Amino acid sequence: MSEGYSGGDEAGTEAEDRLEPESEQDTGGHLRGLDREDVAKNSLDMAANQEWSDVGGSERPSEQLVRQSNQVPHSRGRMRRSPVECRPDIDTFTPGLLALYESLRPSEEHKSKQQQLVDSLAKSVSKEWPNAQLHLYGSSANSFGTSHSDVDVCLEMEIGTASTVEVLVRLADVLRADNFDNVEAITSARVPIVKMSDPGSGFSCDICINNLFAVANTKLLKDYAQIDQRLLQLAFLVKHWAKLRGVNETYRGTLSSYAYVLMCINFLQLREPKILPCLQAMEHTYTMTVDDTECAYFDELHQLQDFGAENKESIAELLWAFFDYWAFRHDYRRGVISVRTGSTISKQEKNWTTRVGNDRHLLCIEDPFETEHDLGRAVDRQTIRILKEEFERAAALLQYNNDPCVALFEPYDHEN
């Protein structure tokens, strides 16, 4: 799923147990060069350490690599320390980063075809459920979608005595009758959906029923995006980097696009001077109640247009600072990033100090409305190491490389 959490990526919960070293199977084959003894040695302390020992194998320290003229590291390795401050010429890379950002944004044609799909879908749904409301959610609606983003739709409707699965099966029949392609009801998922594609627009679409947390999250992210353009710039670049570097795959123990967007929002909330406010800590001018949970925040955005004006940091400075923060400054042992509070809160406060089932709580990202949900729950002992190595590599490239706009986004070579 795209941004706007819609139910989760892992199976249910099990009895609480203490965090023990993960087995090799936890990585999905993502990490190489670590034997069982090495894995067992890297307990939760590893995530908080400022200095890590070398991995061994074929990996090389990233600091050594990026200091070599324009050489791009394909493998993963670690720096031992953070630079004290950002390089003085960092702003020379802003034009290149902004050009990349613009190239990632969806075109007007993309938006038009997306609307074409929504109109076609609304016409089909209204035949069977005339009172149903269609809500776009996720990256197709929250301003963070690229030209490659598909469409996620939530149908808000009264289903009476029928089950969600029964309604989805009926919806699939309706869509097939209206000549949509590749229609499939996936009823065993944690959030059951109908998948389909629209021959007219060429888009694929996932449709769920009454998943209103995702709708509320989508509006919240869209509203944050309108306060300061640097959020969109930062999030697009971070998401693009994560996809190319292979750390945007929750099924392999890394992070979702939604998680990266929340990380960017929280990062800008914590800058000094602040670039983004904490909307949920302000007067509530928008409220949606979902399953007895109040999703409420300040959405009078016209009052916030100059909120971050005092902070003059460029996108190049912010991108380096983002990676530097996650490589060297975030307290992985104790910290939970919280967009809800605009701060970092403690794992102890959330009772996220121990593993519960598949929720490992090694890198903790609180969902703004479903506050019991940790967006980093899939990260295990080996993939947290991968993530930190990638954060360190990115910070080092932006600090030392002669052409970081190219080197930073070099696709990770899984073969070497």
User: What is the CATH number for 403?
Assistant: 1.10.1410.10
Count of beta carbons in the 10 Å neighbourhood of residue 335: 17
pLDDT of residue 284: 98
Are 285 and 346 contained in the same domain? yes
CB 34 within 8 A of CB 23: no
CB 257 within 8 A of CB 236: no
Are 233 and 276 contained in the same domain? yes
pLDDT of residue 7: 44
Are 136 and 280 contained in the same domain? no
Are 229 and 139 contained in the same domain? no
pLDDT of residue 127: 92
User: What is the CATH number for 138?
Assistant: 3.30.460.10
Are 202 and 267 contained in the same domain? no
Six-digit token pair at 29?
């084959």
Where does a domain end: 210, 233, 266? 210
Tell me which residue of 64, 57, 56 sits closest to 80, measured CA to CA: 64
Domain total of the chain: 2
Residue 273 lies in a domain: yes
Residue numbers of the domain that contains 125: 108-210
pLDDT of residue 232: 98
Three-state DSSP state, 329: helix
For the chain, residues with pLDDT lower than 70 are 1-84, 416
Element of type H or E holding 135:
strand 133-137
CB 178 within 8 A of CB 168: no
Are 376 and 238 contained in the same domain? yes
Count of beta carbons in the 10 Å neighbourhood of residue 27: 20
Tell me which residue of 123, 137, 126, 128 sits closest to 288, measured CA to CA: 137
Mean pLDDT rounded to a whole number for the chain: 84
Residue 373 lies in a domain: yes
Are 172 and 34 contained in the same domain? no
pLDDT of residue 201: 82
**What is the Cα 1 distance to its own chain's centre?**
10
Residue 37 CB partners (closer than 8 Å, separation 6+): none
Are 131 and 172 contained in the same domain? yes
Residue 86 CB partners (closer than 8 Å, separation 6+): 317, 320, 321, 324, 398, 399
Residue 416 lies in a domain: no
- Residue 275 C-beta-side C-alpha neighbours within 13 Å: 23
Residue 412 lies in a domain: no
CA quadruple 3, 94, 245, 392: dihedral sign: negative
Residue 42 CB partners (closer than 8 Å, separation 6+): 21, 381, 382, 385
Residue 222 lies in a domain: yes
pLDDT of residue 73: 45
Residue 135 lies in a domain: yes
Where does a domain end: 163, 183, 210? 210
Where does a domain end: 184, 210, 236? 210
Residue 263 lies in a domain: yes
Residue 2 lies in a domain: no
Are 254 and 402 contained in the same domain? yes
- Taking the C-alpha atoms of residue 212 and residue 156, their distance in angstroms, rounded to an integer, is 8
Are 284 and 384 contained in the same domain? yes
Tokens 């300040």 sit on residue: 298
How does pLDDT run across 145-187, given as a tens digit for each residue? 988 788 999 999 999 888 999 999 999 999 999 999 999 999 9
Are 343 and 315 contained in the same domain? yes
Count of beta carbons in the 10 Å neighbourhood of residue 35: 11
Are 257 and 395 contained in the same domain? yes
pLDDT of residue 80: 54
